[in-house]
Amino acid sequence: MLGASVLVACSATGDPAAGTDGEDTCAPPLITVEPRAVAAGDDVVVTGRDFAPSGGCRDEDGGALAAGTDLTVVFEQGGRTTELGSVTIGADGSFETAATIPVRADLGRAAVRVDGAERVRLHISP
């Protein structure tokens, strides 16, 4: 079983020397998808952590991602996007969900992402 980890962009605040406003620093959210080699119609497990750390992490738009925030999980391939479901950030800043790869997915490269975050690449095989 193969897995992937992707660091999602998060504008860390906290280092006055680095030109930030002195707020607490945060670790960027981490997303994993397993397995990464799947067939159309197979399930994958999408997990995320550090989405709502106690330091008040801010996403790329400057808004805080809070526990209880709903996120959309999507499948991307060949310029097409298919919603796979949604997840809610837990009190500890994490989530886990099973998602089914679309049965009409083409063989080859694809990706899963969570609400515009960095993509996790997959390979759709027969």
- Tens-place pLDDT, residues 105-120: 999 999 999 985 678 9
Domain that holds residue 16: 4-124
State the total domains in the chain: 1
What SS3 state is found at 39? coil
Q: What is the mean pLDDT of residues 1-12?
A: 38
111: its two tokens: 């990706």
Alpha-carbon distance 5 to 118, whole Å?
10
Of 54 and 33, more confident: 33
Alpha-carbon distance 74 to 39, whole Å?
16
Contact between 29 and 55 (Cβ < 8 Å): no
Helix H or strand E encompassing 124: strand 120-124
pLDDT reading at 8 higher than 50: no
CATH of the domain at 38: 2.60.40.1930
Q: What is the mean pLDDT of residues 20-33?
A: 67
Query: Chain centroid to CA 89: how far?
Result: 11
